[in-house]
Amino acid sequence: MAKDIDGAAPILVVDMDGTLFRNDTMHEALAALIAERPVESISLATRLTRRKAAWKAALADRMLADPAELRLRPEVMAEIEAARAAGPKVALVSASDQRQVDKVANALGVFDEAFGSGQLAESGKNLSGRIKADFLSVRFGRGGFDYIGDSMTDAPVWAAARQAIVAGPDKAARAVAMSKPDGRTLQEERGPSGALLKAMRPHQWAKNTLIFIPLLASQQFDMLGGAVLAFVAFCLVASSVYLLYDLMDLKADRAHPRKRHRPIASADVSIKLAVIASAGLFAAGALIAIVASNAGFVATLMVYFGLTLAYSLSLKRRMIVDIWVLAGLYTIRIFAGGVASSVALSPSLLTFAMFLFLGLAAIKRQAELIDGANRSQSTLNGRAYLPTTCLLFEASRSPQGMPRSLCSHYTSTVWRQRKSTCNLSFYGVSARCCCSGFRIS
């Protein structure tokens, strides 16, 4: 794999996680394990009491991150190429497990040596911080190497290095590096806040306006405050779910021509930050629901979260089941609005909504299948469909199309023909709409 390093020229030592890559290989491997083999990830969780190096070894036994799916920092690669051209050797030294470091080094082919925590696993030491500084000082001599890192964890290593070089947006790390006589920073980067907001998909919050449908149909506008708070709670929990969904769908997103530019798939938002943000958004949404609404809405919100989580982990890979689940998630929003506004819901409304969203979900999946067929994909990434399965969704050939649409129109007609009706005005346009399913005092 690597050859011995000798000579007096300063060695260029490069950190891996967050430095060579924008990604963290341990987080990438863990996310892949949870998405592909969730049961094994549960057994791995029981080993958290072990020392960090031993836990990383247990993770490496089960899963290694694929270097082809990781995002290199071009400015770091430029430093490596410049060092190789000038003569000094280049070493990859990381706190990740030795097998993961070897896999990366072999894939890139630009390192003369590669060291990971597996070298020190017997003593339970994790190759980072002070331990890494001591290791490099013994191997290359104190001040006998230049070091590229990305965070304050690398501060002891920079102190032992001849030159401190910082990659990434960490302001504290940049300040430490610049305090050394020869310290320097690489390309300036923006922080992740803007990318995180994008990953939360605020444009998708429009879907949650379905919560207001029961209120509009019943015209009980005195309950508007409760509906607004329910809308806010749903938006927060939905954004939490979107982050989790992107984490579970990383592999498929990175293979998609458009989705690979999503913030988490492109590593603009780290897996660690996404997990923390998801937990915070869920907690905030749940707190608002508990404080400002009733127990029924809280239960509905938890059902929505649980069903979405099940969809991300498993149900999205089950043909046809995934479409029913998507339709159900939209319908749950209407149900949640009725519960939050204390408006009794009409079975006709819910039936009509379910059929309508079922048709829309089928159209969405058909569009993805057609897109996959146009790109000559043999399978639809992360799904149980083949491009030829789009025939299943054609209105003229399957119960997924025209009959379902007819069912939607049928339930709509039954709804309108109920005896008790009321006139609704929306933006000045009167519409005849059934309200017999709502108890209106």
Q: Would you say residue 273 has pLDDT above 90? A: yes
The percent of residues in the chain predicted with pLDDT above 70, rounded, is 78
- Long-range CB contact pairs, 387-393, < 8 A, 24+: 389/319, 390/366, 393/362, 393/363, 393/365, 393/366, 393/369
Per-residue pLDDT at 420? 42
What kind and span of H or E run contains 273?
helix 271-292
Kindly report the average pLDDT of the chain as a whole number. 81
Is 406 a residue whose pLDDT tops 60?
A: no
pLDDT at 86: 87
Q: What is the pLDDT of residue 362?
A: 76
pLDDT at 328 over 80: yes
Least confident of 5-19, 367-381, 417-431: 417-431
Average pLDDT over residues 94-101: 94
pTM, rounded to two decimals: 0.74
C-beta separation of 416 from 434 below 8 A:
yes
- Which residues belong to CATH 1.10.357.140 in the chain? 194-434
Judged by DSSP in three states, 274 sits in: helix
Model pLDDT, residue 1:
39
- Amino acid found at 180: K
**Tell me, what's the pLDDT at 275?**
95
Q: Is the pLDDT of residue 439 over 90?
A: no
Fold (topology level) of 194-434: Tetracycline Repressor; domain 2 (1.10.357)
What value does the mean pLDDT take over residues 256-269? 89
Average pLDDT over residues 58-80: 93
The pLDDT of residue 130 is: 94
97-117: average pLDDT:
94
What type of residue sits at position 119? Answer: Q
**Total length of the chain:** 441
- Which stretch, 27-31, 83-87, 323-327, 395-399, has highest mean pLDDT? 27-31
Q: What is the pLDDT of residue 381?
A: 56
pLDDT at res. 428: 33
Distances (CA, A) of 425 to 225, 412, 431: 21, 19, 6
**Of the CATH numbers 3.40.50.1000, 2.40.50.140, 3.30.70.940, 3.10.310.70, which one belongs to the domain with range 11-185?**
3.40.50.1000
pLDDT of 184 above 70: yes
What is the percent of the chain with per-residue pLDDT over 90, rounded to a whole number? Answer: 44
- Which pLDDT score is estimated for 405? 55
pLDDT of 67 higher than 90: yes
Where is average pLDDT lowest: 52-61, 91-100, 418-427? 418-427
Most confident stretch, 121-125, 165-169, 282-286, 327-331: 282-286
Q: Of 17-21, 219-223, 355-359, 381-385, which one has max mean pLDDT?
A: 17-21
pLDDT band of 319, cuts 50, 70, 90: confident
pLDDT digits (tens, 9 = 90+) for 337-396: 888 888 877 777 777 778 788 777 777 777 766 666 666 665 555 555 655 555 454 543
- Between residues 14 and 224, the one the model is more confident about: 14
Q: What is the C-alpha radius of gyration for the chain, rounded to an integer number of angstroms?
A: 27
What number is the average pLDDT over the span 165-192? 85
Which pLDDT belongs to residue 380? 56
Question: For residue 5, is pLDDT > 60?
Answer: no
Q: 21: helix, coil or strand?
A: strand
When pLDDT is averaged across residues 258-284 and rounded to a whole number, the result is: 93
Other CB atoms closer than 10 Å to residue 234's CB: what's the count? 28
Q: What is the mean pLDDT of residues 298-321?
A: 85
The span from the CA of 164 to the CA of 176, in Å, is 9
Average pLDDT over residues 156-172: 92
What contacts 65, CB < 8 A, 6 or more positions away? 23, 25, 26, 28, 29, 32, 100, 103
